[in-house]
């Protein structure tokens, strides 16, 4: 089992600082995990993700990697680590969210999910057992259980039936995981996912079931799918009060910089989100002073660095005016610079949060930062 060392908990909030130990290296928490859906962090070199932003762990996606390049290629490469050259920890999402998003072309049964490929229309089936086998071949250090991610809004009866199905699938995932072995020799962990939509009683049932399993780490899914932020924070808080303090907690798909700081304060340790790269490709920069739409005319003659506090080389090497020019000219370099900046900023943010938790000043710092980070500059 992966080992998690909880170093300290903030006295004025539930924020925690810890270290998660894996065979591919240690992960200092709280941590943000850049999303590398098809084996790459979009528009960013693996070298820059590692050496420039010092990301400690990245994500891959079971659904996308299964379809392309396919399991034979991944196995021949020695898993995703061998395929993309990333030698630090990797977490793979189970593909449940992607299958959920294929609403018009998938069918859910107790056995699993039948779906059509978004690439060529071919039909496939994901069962809990198959998803565990696929993630073994991908070789992620942290594997996710196969779940149904309910939409928002979602009526109570649907959420209740969905949760029963997710729990049944979890039991089957655990059996398959425990009866199989890593393909490449390094240790792998399986994280279950708390579901239950926005209903506190369902979330409580799910969190209690998962807490009792005492596995290496736990995840909270089905949030950040359109519900108000207040509900997301409420559910996160309720679930964190049930999940064991001795295991890392991963809030899936969250979120904005403000979401991340507020969720750290509630006791979350791990985050992922496509926002740094997706929004970056559209010209939105997250900075320590607020949010910039770099395409706006106001930056045309601003020759100051992208972000004086930034972690990445792009923050000092390029001006706002230059990056705006690249976007206006539709130059390929523009989304690359913006994506790398945003990933660097997200990693700076969680690193700074960790420092503040360790020195006992997190709560007051967080209250100042959430106001600044929401500013539109």
Cα 57 to Cα 343: distance, rounded to the nearest angstrom: 12
At 226, list the tokens.
């359109």
Query: How do strand 31-34 and strand 270-273 relate by DSSP bridges?
Result: parallel
Cα 357 to Cα 18: distance, rounded to the nearest angstrom: 10
Annotated catalytic residue within 10, 93, 269, 307:
93
Cα 220 to Cα 206: distance, rounded to the nearest angstrom: 10
Handedness of CA 59, 63, 67, 72 (dihedral sign): positive
Mark whether 272 is an active-site residue.
Answer: yes
**Tokens 């359109």 belong to which residue?**
226
Handedness of CA 88, 313, 361, 269 (dihedral sign): negative
Residue 4 bridge partners (DSSP)? 20
Task: Show the CA angle centred on residue 356, arms to residues 228 and 142, nearest 5°.
Answer: 65
Q: CA of 135: how far to CAs of 59, 72, 83, 142, in Å?
A: 12, 13, 14, 9
Q: How far is CA 126 from the centre of its chain?
A: 21
Mark whether 93 is an active-site residue.
Answer: yes
Residue 347 bridge partners (DSSP)? none
- CA dihedral (360, 362, 363, 369) in degrees, to 10, reads 150
Closest CA to 207 of 226, 223, 188: 223
Cα 208 to Cα 204: distance, rounded to the nearest angstrom: 6
Question: Any residues with CB less than 8 A from the CB of 348 and at least 6 apart, and which?
Answer: 288, 309, 310, 311
Residue 270 bridge partners (DSSP)? 31, 250
Annotated catalytic residue within 10, 272, 307, 315:
272
Q: What is the DSSP string of 103-114?
A: GGGEEE-SS-EE
DSSP state of 222: S
Active site residues: 93, 272
């Amino acid at each position: 089992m992966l080992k998690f060392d909880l170093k300290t908990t903030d006295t004025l909030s539930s924020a925690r600082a810890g270290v998660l130990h894996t065979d591919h290296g240690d992960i200092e928490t709280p941590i943000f995990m850049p999303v590398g859906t098809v084996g790459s962090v979009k528009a960013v070199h693996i070298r820059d993700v590692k050496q420039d932003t010092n990301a400690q762990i990245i994500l891959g996606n079971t659904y996308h990697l299964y379809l392309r390049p396919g399991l034979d290629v991944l196995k021949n490469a020695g898993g995703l680590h061998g395929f993309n050259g990333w030698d630090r920890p990797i977490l793979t999402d189970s593909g449940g969210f992607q299958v959920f998003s294929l609403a018009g072309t998938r069918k859910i049964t107790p056995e699993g999910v039948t779906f059509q490929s978004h690439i060529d229309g071919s039909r496939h089936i994901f069962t809990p057992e198959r998803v565990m086998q696929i993630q073994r071949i991908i070789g992620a250090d942290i594997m996710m259980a196969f779940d149904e991610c309910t939409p928002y809004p979602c009526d109570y009866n649907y959420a209740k039936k969905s949760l029963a199905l997710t729990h049944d699938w979890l039991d089957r995932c655990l059996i398959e995981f425990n009866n199989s072995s890593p393909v490449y020799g390094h240790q792998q962990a399986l994280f279950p996912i708390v579901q239950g939509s926005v209903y506190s009683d369902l979330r409580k049932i799910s969190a209690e079931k998962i807490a009792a399993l005492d596995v290496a780490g736990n995840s909270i899914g089905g949030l950040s799918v359109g519900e108000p932020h207040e509900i997301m924070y409420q559910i996160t808080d309720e679930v964190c009060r049930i999940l064991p303090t001795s295991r890392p907690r991963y809030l899936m798909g969250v979120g904005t910089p403000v979401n991340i700081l507020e969720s750290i304060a509630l006791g979350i340790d791990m985050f992922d989100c496509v926002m740094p790269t997706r929004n970056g490709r559209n010209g939105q920069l997250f900075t320590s002073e607020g949010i910039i739409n770099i395409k706006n005319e106001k930056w045309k003659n601003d020759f100051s660095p992208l972000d004086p506090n930034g972690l990445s080389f792009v923050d000092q090497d390029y001006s706002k005016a230059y990056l705006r020019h690249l976007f206006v000219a539709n130059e390929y370099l523009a989304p690359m610079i913006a994506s790398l900046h945003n990933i660097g900023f997200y990693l700076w943010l969680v690193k700074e949060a960790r420092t503040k938790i360790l020195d006992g000043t997190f709560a007051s710092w967080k209250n100042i930062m959430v106001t600044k980070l929401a500013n539109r500059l």
